[in-house]
Amino acid sequence: MTTVGILGGGQLARMLALSGAPLGLRFLVMDTEADACAGQFAPLLVGDYRDEAALAEFASKVDVATFDFENVPAESAEWLAARVPVFPSPRALSVAQDRLVEKNLFRSLGIPVGEYAAVSTRDGLETEVARIGGPCILKTRRLGYDGKGQFRIRSAADIEAAWQALGAQATTVGLIVEAFIPFQRELSVVAVRGRDGEFRTWPLTENWHVDGVLSASVAPATLDDGLAQLAYGYANQLAEALDYVGVFALELFCKDGQWLANEMAPRVHNSGHWTIEGAETSQFENHLRAVLGLPLGDTRMLGHACMLNWIGELPERNSVLGEPAGHWHDYGKLPRTGRKVGHATLREDSAVALADALQRVGATLGRESQVASPIGRLAD
């Protein structure tokens, strides 16, 4: 029986393990925390990702390795890759971990991006803010996610506060300043590439964020077909350039009918959770198929779907389960401010039926604001 090793034991690893059970797979999860939620469904090895003894034990027990979040040290993935197949590759992981390297790759492939520049000093920040103009965003090049490690600069008056907040990290993880993009829509391409180079995408997904954290996703996004095909093409270029194996997401801003790339996530992605119930093959199953060298599954949609993210604490689940189209996912985590603790997916045969179901769920939960944007888009 094949054992898949997963570095990182969060909800993505948990859902990978759940999706792999019908394929007859075993799993070993490695995480730094003893209460990692994936450990509720798979054996858990607790250890530091830089601990070679722990990595050696992990490698000795698995046939192939992958990861469930992009902040696993790239050098640890490289160390593992010398002993066991690792997918996606350590190079893909390394590129996605550094916003500057990632933006440079996008630009070299002809994938449009907003203005950006590396920053290492306060004077340098002042110079680049003057060049790029405000508003703009100072970010750490590494380790930031879900809105963390960022400071919005509205004008030159904010430079000192931005530097006080993040300047100390200029010599550790590095800093980048990016132009703020006044986008009309935010979408993602969730795609998969197999070991043999086969490439597939799920339908484009439209996303809405609150405080930098995904709140809701709708698929398929209503979009001009030519613009959608361009997005799929960008994702394919990226996968080919990195010789990528597995599932990834390319996050895109749509401004005035044009794409601007935001970032790449080298893993199964929050905006693809709807695929569990809303697609012929979920992103989780296809990721496992890809890393194992199995044939990829069909990515076609089954109707229309909306994923609602639960942050901090879970709402009353019966409000979702009472819907014929409702599907509930509890990640087995303790409540905590800002923590992703679960999600729900509603899937219907038509956009109108989905909008009606969202209306009912939002009203029952008192979360009308969370469902307002998805309902508005479904009604377009």
Distance CA 296, CA 294 (A): 6
Topology of the domain comprising 185-379: D-amino Acid Aminotransferase; Chain A, domain 1 (3.30.470)
In this prediction the pTM is 0.94
Tell which residue, 85, 52, 82, 79, has the closest CA to residue 66: 85
Q: What per-residue confidence (pLDDT) applies to 379? A: 83
Topology of the domain comprising 3-86: Rossmann fold (3.40.50)
Q: Are 93 and 72 in contact (CB under 8 A)?
A: yes
Q: What per-residue confidence (pLDDT) applies to 157? A: 86
Q: What per-residue confidence (pLDDT) applies to 319? A: 93
Q: What per-residue confidence (pLDDT) applies to 134? A: 80
Q: What per-residue confidence (pLDDT) applies to 144? A: 64
**Top-level CATH class of 115-179?**
alpha beta
Residues of the chain whose pLDDT is less than 70?
A: 144-148
Determine the residue type at 49: Y
Query: Per-domain residue ranges for the chain?
Result: 3-86, 115-179, 185-379
Distance CA 243, CA 171 (A): 31
Distance CA 25, CA 77 (A): 21
Dihedral sign for Cα 16, 21, 22, 23, please.
positive
Distance CA 113, CA 108 (A): 11
Q: What per-residue confidence (pLDDT) applies to 147? A: 57
Which residue carries 């995480």 as its tokens?
Answer: 31
Q: Are 103 and 116 in contact (CB under 8 A)?
A: yes
Q: What per-residue confidence (pLDDT) applies to 170? A: 80
- pLDDT tens digits for 299-340? 999 999 999 999 999 999 999 999 999 999 999 999 999 899
- Give residues with Cβ within 8 angstroms of 88, minimum separation 6: 66, 242, 244, 245, 246, 248, 266, 267
Tell which residue, 330, 226, 213, has the closest CA to residue 271: 213
Query: What does the angle CA 100 – CA 87 – CA 272 come to, to the nearest 5 degrees?
Result: 75
Please give the helix or strand (H or E) that residue 221 lies within, else none.
Answer: none
Tell which residue, 62, 56, 55, has the closest CA to residue 26: 62
